[in-house]
């Protein structure tokens, strides 16, 4: 085709949805998005204490033309843009950071000190990369506003509080996210990944993250002198037995094809060599995918704690107290299979097969699945965007056990690649859902 014909075609046909114009536009935004990223990185805030962050980002969404509501679910932000008839799509980014002392040595590393809920001071760091999520969130909003003539429907973009503690999604839902604002039929979120090289997208159809339950066991005995064990019911020995018997929940009681984890992360008891204490406190994290496996584990923990106490001859009024911390539970995120597979195809077509992969499920928690859990009218997918700098990936031959993980004080993703890739992926996913009929 000669040049004149090409020009004529460009003037009469709508712009084809090819990759180059979008990535060029994102490239032009990157300097500004990286400045925002570094600012966010240097100002991390703990879960449910986000105040500076939403105050920075909400006006940016307002300036882009969204109708913005703050303080949804305590600190969350809901930005709505109605752009003609069509479906409602929700995009979510999370805002919170972790009580971790940053050790990356980055020039914009956090030096901030926050406060745990009991008032204890703690260093705070964006060690999970939620700062990349927020920078990409603004990048995606900018692109979708600039391309408003190419989509039709309602775009709901939310900045969620408290992901790390599993509270934020529930808090926003309880505060009327789906009643005060348009309820979506599709939800997308992404998370940066320490398991993939920078710029590679991972999607997991079906379960992608696990049910996470925290369980406390107060093992009660009868204390006394360390030299007179016959006059006591030693809770240290009893708690030790409980810890060992708990191992059989995963190894003997559940179907080996169903993943599960029971980890005793804390074992606290006693004060001195020659004193048998009255009690011991165990703290567990319990992980699963299927609801029936979750129930088997939680019921089994209560049964084993009580059974071992009976075997140890503990009096009835000193049976262990098992507490499932309901306010710290995160349900598994199950990516709607049809949507996740469609997203895989879409990303493969756009980024190429070498930048798109199916990732195995993980036993970590992510509360984004709450937005579509138990509601078949909402489809959702959380996808991963690789953040491991390519040189670091190559240096270990892709063995990520040799590299910092998410939540590590050393986690320093290739933020520029994460933000650019995620912005492009979110934008094409949104345009796909909201395409003009
Ligand atoms: Zn995290
Ligand atoms: Zn996270």
> In sequence order, what DSSP letters do the residues of 218-255 get, joined into one string?
EEE-B-EETT-GGGSB-HHHHHHHHHHHHHHIIIIIS-
Question: For 350-367, what is the mean pLDDT?
Answer: 96
Cα separation, 425 vs 12, whole angstroms: 28
Distance 122 CA to ligand 2 centre (A): 19
- Tell me, what's the pLDDT at 78? 98
Distance 416 CA to ligand 1 centre (A): 19
Distance 361 CA to ligand 2 centre (A): 15
User: Can you count the helices (H) and strands (E) in the chain?
Assistant: 11, 18
Question: For 281-297, what is the mean pLDDT?
Answer: 97
Whether residue 96 lies in the annotated active site: yes
Torsion angle in degrees (nearest 10) through CA of 378, 190, 115, 71 = -40
Which of 163, 234, 366, 424 is catalytic? The answer is 163
Question: For 329-347, what is the mean pLDDT?
Answer: 97
pLDDT digits (tens, 9 = 90+) for 174-226: 999 999 999 999 999 999 999 999 999 999 999 999 999 999 999 999 999 99
- Tell me, what's the pLDDT at 20? 79
Distance 164 CA to ligand 2 centre (A): 6
Query: Interior CA angle at 82 toward 39 and 347, to 5°?
Result: 65
Distance 163 CA to ligand 1 centre (A): 7
Whether residue 216 lies in the annotated active site: no
Distance 269 CA to ligand 1 centre (A): 29
- Tell me, what's the pLDDT at 328? 84
Could you tell me the pTM of the whole model? 0.90
- Nearest 5°: phi and psi at 322? -105, 120
Which of 29, 45, 50, 96 is catalytic? The answer is 96
Q: How far is CA 427 from the centre of its chain?
A: 20
- Tell me, what's the pLDDT at 19? 56
- Tell me, what's the pLDDT at 15? 42
Q: How confident is the model at residue 8 (pLDDT cuts 50, 70, 90)?
A: very low
- Tell me, what's the pLDDT at 16? 44
pLDDT digits (tens, 9 = 90+) for 12-57: 444 444 557 999 999 999 999 999 999 999 999 999 999 999 999 9
Best CA proximity match to 418, nearest among 136, 91, 178, 216: 136
Q: How confident is the model at residue 262 (pLDDT cuts 50, 70, 90)?
A: very high
Distance 313 CA to ligand 1 centre (A): 42
User: Strands 333-335 and 121-123: what pairing?
Assistant: unpaired
Cα separation, 20 vs 436, whole angstroms: 21
The DSSP H or E segment spanning 125 is none
| Cβ atoms < 10 Å from Cβ of 85 | 10
Q: How confident is the model at residue 2 (pLDDT cuts 50, 70, 90)?
A: very low
Best CA proximity match to 368, nearest among 343, 400, 319, 335: 335
Cα separation, 373 vs 332, whole angstroms: 9
Cα separation, 353 vs 344, whole angstroms: 10
| Cβ atoms < 10 Å from Cβ of 406 | 18
* 3-state DSSP helix/strand/coil % of the chain, to nearest 5: 40, 25, 35
Distance 331 CA to ligand 2 centre (A): 15
- Residue 88: beta bridge partners? 154
Cα separation, 208 vs 329, whole angstroms: 16
Quick check: 300 pLDDT over 50? Answer: yes
- Tell me, what's the pLDDT at 374? 84
Tokens of 435: 């395409």
Distance 100 CA to ligand 2 centre (A): 13
- Tell me, what's the pLDDT at 436? 86
Quick check: 353 pLDDT over 70? Answer: yes
pLDDT digits (tens, 9 = 90+) for 109-150: 999 999 999 999 999 999 999 999 999 999 999 999 999 999
What is the end-to-end Cα distance of the chain in Å, rounded?
30
């Amino acid at each position: 085709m000669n040049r004149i014909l090409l020009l004529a075609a460009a003037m009469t046909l709508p712009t084809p949805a090819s990759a180059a114009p979008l990535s060029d536009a994102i490239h032009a935004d990157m300097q500004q998005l990286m400045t925002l990223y570094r600012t966010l990185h240097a100002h991390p805030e703990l879960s449910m204490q986000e105040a500076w962050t939403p105050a920075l980002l909400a006006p940016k969404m307002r300036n882009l033309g969204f109708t913005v509501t703050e303080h949804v679910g305590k600190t969350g932000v809901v930005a709505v843009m109605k752009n003609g008839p069509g479906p409602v799509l929700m995009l979510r980014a999370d805002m919170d950071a972790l009580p971790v002392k940053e050790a990356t040595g980055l020039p914009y590393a956090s030096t901030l000190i926050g406060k745990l809920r009991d008032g204890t001071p703690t260093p705070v760091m964006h060690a999970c990369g939620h700062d990349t999520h927020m920078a990409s969130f603004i990048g995606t909003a900018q692109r979708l506003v600039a391309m408003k003539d190419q989509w039709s429907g309602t775009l709901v973009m939310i900045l969620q509080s408290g992901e790390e503690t599993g509270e934020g999604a529930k808090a926003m839902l309880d505060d009327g996210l789906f009643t005060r604002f348009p309820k979506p039929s599709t939800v997308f979120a992404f998370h940066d990944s320490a398991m993939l090289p920078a710029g590679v997208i991972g999607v997991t159809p079906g379960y992608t993250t696990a049910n996470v339950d925290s369980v406390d066991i107060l093992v009660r005995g009868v204390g006394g002198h360390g030299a007179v064990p016959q006059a006591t019911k030693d809770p240290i020995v009893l708690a030790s037995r409980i810890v060992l018997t708990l191992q059989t929940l995963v190894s003997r009681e559940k179907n080996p094809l169903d993943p599960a984890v029971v980890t005793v992360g804390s074992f606290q008891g006693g004060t001195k060599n020659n004193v048998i204490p009255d009690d011991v406190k165990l703290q567990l994290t319990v992980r699963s995918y299927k609801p029936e496996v979750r129930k088997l584990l939680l019921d089994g923990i209560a049964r084993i704690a009580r059974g071992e106490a009976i075997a140890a001859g503990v009096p009835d009024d000193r049976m262990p107290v098992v507490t499932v911390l309901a306010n710290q539970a995160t349900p598994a995120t199950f990516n709607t299979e049809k949507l996740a597979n469609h997203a895989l195809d879409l990303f493969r077509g756009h980024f190429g097969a070498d930048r798109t992969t199916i990732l195995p499920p993980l036993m970590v928690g992510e509360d984004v699945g709450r937005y579509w859990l138990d509601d078949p009218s909402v489809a959702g997918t959380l996808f991963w965007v690789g953040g491991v700098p390519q040189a670091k990936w190559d240096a270990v031959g892709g063995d990520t056990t040799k590299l910092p993980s998410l939540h590590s004080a050393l986690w320093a993703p290739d933020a520029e690649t994460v933000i650019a890739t995620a912005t492009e992926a979110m934008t094409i996913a949104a345009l796909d859902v909201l395409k003009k009929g």
